[in-house]
Amino acid sequence: MFWNEKIETIDRADLNKLQLEKLKKALEAAASTPFYKKLFNDNGVDVSKVTTLEHLKDLPFTTKHDLRLSYPDGMVAVPRTDIVRLHASSGTTGKSTVIFYTWKDLSDWADLIARSMMATGTTKDDVFQNMMGYGLFTGGLGLHYGAERLGCLVIPSSTGNSLKQMELMKDFSTTVIHITPSYAMHLVEVIKENGVNPHDLSVKKAYLGAEPYSEGVKKKIEEQWGLEAYNSYGLSEMNGPGVAFECVHKNGMHLWEDFYIMEIINPETGENLPDGEEGELVLTHINRAAMPIIRYRTRDLTRIMPEKCACGRTHRRIERIKGRTDDMLIVGGVNVFPSQIETVLMNVPEVGNNYQIVLDRHNNLDRIHVRVELYSKMFEGDIKALDALKKKIVERLKALITVNPKIEFLEPGSLPPSTGKAVRVIDKREI
């Protein structure tokens, strides 16, 4: 089943031609933005000289740091009046990474999602319950509009409130869910506790995303729910979800090459690697007018699977994401950098410079513990003052990283000394 058979099964030669045309346009648009104008100038890049796809690898990379530097709109290539939406993810130093979209960008994105969903066999007859966060995060709204484009009945139930989720599933015969793997594991337990056999529900498919998980967890979710789970890949810099999606054969994710040019590089040297070799995924967005991004370093490790897929789609697949080349943590679907937590702690005068971040899972939900040593200078002698300090730290962290950490005070000297490469993050979660 195809949403757009012509483009999904396009001949490779024609696809390359299309990519080159779109790349030229994207480069021209990028060169008009303050950020890329300077980047191209500094690196002696003349975009009019890019005449083959091969030339792309001579262009400089774009990083998350660049996106922060160009905050709020240094990479915008269209007049402000043409922009109809923005999405944002939290940034390492307090500034967010913001992505802008024109009406057509959003419409094209919805199309891409509809294409992805249909590749898994979902049609307009399906009832789609979207249990991802709505808001600045791209996961909720991204799939929402794509499912509407496809013609599904969309239930925008967002995150949390498990009993309500269950009720909606039962009352409206939900057939497809979009959910983080950790919440899927949690929700299925709630359903069982309420005397419902998950296999009796009409849910047949789950789109898992927003956080890393193993094939083992995926299998477990499939068994416990009695459904087929599909891996999806996306990042807000490249729109959000729908960059790559598994088809019904569930063997790697088709990366939609009419929207994105993918490269795999050696993360240390920046050199391009041949298809099939594992490295860092680099993406160029060639289908977004408001904000073209050239050679974006995703920090995600994967490899390209160049073999033909039995589904007939010619867009190459990438393997499930193996890990990251930076220290980014994903907690309950939210991206968190340890440096963000450190910035907050260092700005609370009572707190020493020794801290530790511990991640674990309770009832299948991610928890983040921030362990801080308590010194005499910050100790006022009673529980009330400690509770107030705790609250202050939690509120500041919540404001910056939107997750709710548990603060633990420790006696001085409990943590390894902060010199050198102290292990600041302990991840006890089983992936």
Q: What residues make contact with another protein under the rule CB under 8 A?
A: 374-376, 378-384, 386-387, 408-414
Asked if 33 and 76 count as a contact pair (C-beta separation under 8 A), the reply is yes
Give the CA-trace dihedral at 331, 281, 59, 260, to 10 degrees.
-90
Least distance to another protein, CB of residue 370, Å: 13
Least distance to another protein, CB of residue 362, Å: 15
C-beta neighbour count of 108 within 10 angstroms: 18
Least distance to another protein, CB of residue 371, Å: 10
* Closest to another protein by CB, 13 or 383: 383
What is the distance between the alpha carbons of residues 300 and 279, in angstroms, rounded to a whole number?
A: 8
Three-state DSSP class for 241? strand
Quote the crossing angle between the two packed helices 162-171 and 181-193, to the nearest 10°.
80
* Closest to another protein by CB, 44 or 381: 381
Least distance to another protein, CB of residue 392, Å: 16
Name the region of 409 (left: φ>0; alpha: ψ -120 to 50; beta: rest): beta
* Closest to another protein by CB, 61 or 375: 375
Least distance to another protein, CB of residue 394, Å: 14
Among candidate residues 420, 423, 425, the one with its CA nearest the CA of residue 337: 425
* Closest to another protein by CB, 45 or 374: 374
Evaluated on CA atoms 201, 207, 210, 214, the torsion sign reads positive
* Closest to another protein by CB, 326 or 387: 387
Least distance to another protein, CB of residue 405, Å: 14
Q: 171 burial class (0-12, 13-18, 19+ CB within 10 angstroms)?
A: exposed
What DSSP character marks residue 335?
A: E
What is the distance between the alpha carbons of residues 202 and 301, in angstroms, rounded to a whole number?
A: 35
Least distance to another protein, CB of residue 390, Å: 10
What is the distance between the alpha carbons of residues 47 and 399, in angstroms, rounded to a whole number?
A: 41
* Closest to another protein by CB, 71 or 375: 375
What letter represents residue 111's amino acid? D
Least distance to another protein, CB of residue 182, Å: 24
* Closest to another protein by CB, 49 or 384: 384
* Closest to another protein by CB, 22 or 371: 371
Q: Which tokens sit at 52?
A: 């083959």
Name the region of 420 (left: φ>0; alpha: ψ -120 to 50; beta: rest): left
CA atoms in the 13 A half-sphere facing the CB of 66 = 18
Least distance to another protein, CB of residue 414, Å: 7
What is the distance between the alpha carbons of residues 363 and 6, in angstroms, rounded to a whole number?
A: 45
Quote the crossing angle between the two packed helices 215-225 and 181-193, to the nearest 10°.
30
